[in-house]
Amino acid sequence: SQQGEEDPQALSIQEGENATMNCSYKTSINNLQWYRQNSGRGLVHLILIRSNEREKHSGRLRVTLDTSKKSSSLLITASRAADTASYFCATDNYGQNFVFGPGTRLSVLP
């Protein structure tokens, strides 16, 4: 069964606003990663958060992890048109292969 699922499936915001995407998963995990995919391109790694971590920051990105709720969130602050992309979470669980969610399509309108 699918491990990670992002929510919402699609999100449209105005430039300058914050965007929040959520990822839920079903089994215990070792790491959770967030990736971005621009249209027609390969995925680009954003942040890796380990199961014993609760929050991580990278520039305008903030990722939280709540293992009790089996969920993670990705916050993009002060969004830009260039942030328009699909965002995926991926989990691995102790020796099993990565499982990607279906992604959130973010549109940042100028």
Partner 1 sequence: DTAVSQTPKYLVTQMGNDKSIKCEQNLGHDTMYWYKQDSKKFLKIMFSYNNKELIINETVPNRFSPKSPDKAHLNLHINSLELGDSAVYFCASSLYQYNEQFFGPGTRLTVL
- Contacting positions for partner 1 (CB under 8 A): 30-31, 33, 35, 37, 40-45, 48, 86, 88, 92, 97-100, 102-103
> Nearest Cα to 23, choosing from 13, 45, 8?
8
* For partner 1, the closer CB: 31 or 107: 31
Q: What whole-number distance in Å separates Cα of residue 49 and Cα of residue 85?
A: 21
Single out the residue of 75, 70, 105 nearest to residue 87, CA to CA.
105
Nearer to partner 1, 1 or 68 (CB): 1
Least distance in angstroms from the C-beta of 55 to partner 1: 18
The pair of three-digit structure tokens given for residue 103, joined into one six-digit string: 């992604």
Measured between alpha carbons, how far is 78 from 67 in angstroms, rounded to an integer?
27
Nearer to partner 1, 42 or 59 (CB): 42
CB of 44 to partner 1, least distance (A): 7
Smallest separation, CB 16 to partner 1 (Å):
27
CA distances from 79 to 54, 67, 85 (A): 23, 27, 12
Smallest distance, partner 1 to C-beta of residue 101, A: 8
15 vs 67 by CB, closer to partner 1 = 67
